[in-house]
Amino acid sequence: MKRRLQRIYWRGILITLVMAMAAIGMAAWLKIDDTRAHLDAMLDAALKWTRDSGDDLQSLSDTIAGISPGLRVTYLLDSGLILADSEQKEELPGDPLEDAEIAAVRRGEIGKQLRMSAEDASLTLYLAGRVSPQLILRLSIPVIETARVLMVYGTALLLLFLTLYLVQRRGIARLAADQSRQFDDIRLLMDGETDRVQAVFPEFQPSLDAISYRVRRLKEDHREVLRTLNLRANFVANASHELRSPLTSVRGYAEILKEGMADNDEERETCLSTIIGECDRMLAVIEDILRLGRAENAGKKPAKEQSARQTAKEVCRALRPQAEKKDIALILEGDTPVKAEEKDLWEILYNLLDNAIRYGKTGGEVRVRMEKGVIEVRDNGIGIAPDHLPHIFEPFYRVDDTRDVAPEGTGLGLSIVQALMKRLDGTIHAESDAGTGTRIILHFPTEERKTK
Ligand code: ADP
């Protein structure tokens, strides 16, 4: 990149220098053109003046030369002999007859030539005309004093070149530094040490913002994948553990029966009912695992709004036997429309009321309050200690103290409820204090809330 920029810049410098030289050339050409026209007019006037004047040639040449600074006037014969020269030179370097302007006059034309002067190396314009059959008049004027021009323009070009070179070096060095800083920033972004990269060149900002956004998303996805993998691993370990205990028990009792170690019908009966009980327990765990899988993986279906009270009533009817066993009163208050399929709402309320009864106090109450898309299930049972509260929605999590009270739980009920609420775009949270009861609060999305 740096080399490429340098190449581009060098090309730029070269073009600038060529253009500067072309501009100088144009200015010189204009000056020559101007001087030629001026000298043409002077030659006409000088020829006429020489023919009409009676002055001697030397004083004539001095007078004419005085008209314009740098003008040189020379009178010479066809033979090349110098008769008068405004610079008082009797001889000129080289043979004047070989000069193109003199040769042209001798051929009967007006002689013009632009060439380097043999005396002072300046670019000089020569014009010559015939005064009489033997006498030739030559005017010459330096157009460009080459040495001075070379010095002035050469120095100017050198300065221009140096300035451009220094600007180029600084510019490219700064660009290279900016570029490497930009790459460092991008590396920091990739390593997660920064959230946003400020673009060195503003036009790159949208692309860098898009990269920052993608990197953030990838990181979040990565974290989510790790979390899910971790949850899955825990889930498998917990599920295996949940099934291993009843299976071990089943195997033990089956062996007792097989070895004929049960002495009488009563003992055999105990073995068989334990085996059946443990099998029921395993079935319950497997049923709940399947329910949880369905709740987590089933796609969202658009559901119509329906009254929650009707479903809550049916759940209470189904759970009345358990509630009566513990003399717990089931109380329904208010009603609210909720956007959920009836079987989902039934499963949610069933799990919550089942828990409230199981962990409820004998002779206590379970209250279901329904209002404006919010359903609250409250009991005055054993409650949940603050340490356990954040974990109760995790699969297979059970508060140890409650195990003795309700050994029949699988530890999956609240996970199923949470997964269902998530599918319905709702939320669930719990409030509790050990000993004072538990409040589970569900927020459902309602039409009213969505339009707000
Ligand atoms: P389980 O099938 O064991 O009830 P849940 O997922 O439904 O599993 O509940 C997880 C744990 O949360 C339960 O083991 C229990 O300790 C606690 N819990 C749930 N609901 C209540 C409640 N109403 N009162 C007290 N503890 C509760």
Q: Does ligand 1 come within 6 angstroms of the Cβ of 398? A: yes
- Is the CB of 379 inside a 6 Å radius of any atom of ligand 1? yes
Minimum CA distance residue for ligand 1 atom 16 = 399
Phi, psi of 213 (to 5 degrees): -60, -45
Q: How many beta carbons lie within 10 A of that of residue 30, not counting itself?
A: 10
| Per-residue pLDDT at 451 | 45
Helix (H) or strand (E) holding 61: helix 57-65
Q: Which of 401, 402, 403, 431 to mutate to test the pocket of ligand 1 (most atoms within 8 A of CB)?
A: 402
Nearest to 74 by CA among 121, 124, 27: 124
Among 286, 352, 398, name the best residue to mutate to test ligand 1's pocket (greatest count of ligand atoms within 8 A of Cβ): 398
Conformational region of residue 110, where left means phi above 0, alpha means psi within -120 to 50, and beta covers everything else: beta
Question: Which residue, among 111, 123, 138, 108, has the nearest Cα to 47 in the 3D structure?
Answer: 138
CA 324 to centroid of ligand 1, rounded, Å: 20
Residue 407's pLDDT is 56
* Beta carbons of 140 and 64 less than 8 angstroms apart: no
Q: Atom 7 of ligand 1 has which residue's CA nearest to it?
A: 413
Tokens, residue 49: 């003046």
* 377 CA closest ligand 1 atom index: 23
Contact 105, 68 (CB under 8 A): no
Residues 6 or more apart whose Cβ sits within 8 Å of residue 344: 303, 420, 423, 424
pLDDT of 420:
94
Q: Cβ(413) to ligand 1 under 6 A? A: yes
Question: What's residue 313's pLDDT?
Answer: 96
Model pTM? Answer: 0.59
Distances (CA, A) of 130 to 70, 84, 93, 104, 114: 22, 15, 22, 10, 19
Choose the residue to mutate in 348, 388, 414 for probing ligand 1, maximizing ligand atoms within 8 Å of C-beta. Answer: 414
Q: Is 361 in the pocket of ligand 1 (CB under 6 A)?
A: no
- Cβ–ligand 1 distance for 434 under 6 Å, the answer no
* Burial group, residue 198, by CB count within 10 angstroms (0-12, 13-18, 19+): exposed
382 close to ligand 1 (CB < 6 Angstrom): yes
Residue 307: other Cβ atoms inside 10 A: 14
Tell me, what's the pLDDT at 186?
Answer: 87
C-alpha 194/C-alpha 201 separation (Å) is 19
Q: For 217, left (φ over 0), alpha (ψ -120 to 50), or beta?
A: alpha
Joined tokens for residue 182:
């930009």
What pLDDT score was predicted for residue 27? 83
Tell me, using a 6 A CB cutoff, whether residue 384 lines ligand 1: yes
Among 287, 328, 355, which is best to mutate for testing ligand 1, by the most ligand atoms less than 8 A from CB?
355
> Measured in angstroms, how far is the CA atom of residue 337 from the centroid of ligand 1?
27
What is the residue-level pLDDT of the chain in tens, covering all 452 positions? 667 777 888 888 889 889 988 988 888 888 888 888 988 999 999 999 998 887 788 999 999 999 888 899 999 999 888 889 998 776 667 788 889 999 999 998 889 998 888 777 778 899 999 998 889 999 999 887 666 777 888 888 889 889 988 888 888 888 888 888 888 988 888 887 888 888 888 888 898 889 889 988 998 999 999 998 998 888 888 889 889 989 999 999 999 999 988 888 899 999 999 999 999 999 999 999 999 988 888 777 777 888 999 999 999 999 999 999 999 999 999 999 998 889 999 999 999 999 999 999 999 999 999 999 999 999 999 999 998 999 999 988 888 644 444 557 788 999 999 999 999 999 999 999 878 899 999 999 866 554 44
What is the Å distance from ligand 1's center to 165 Cα? 79
Centre of ligand 1 to C-alpha 396, Å, is: 10
- Asked whether 414 lines ligand 1 (CB < 6 A), one says yes
The CB of 337 under 6 Å from ligand 1? The reply is no
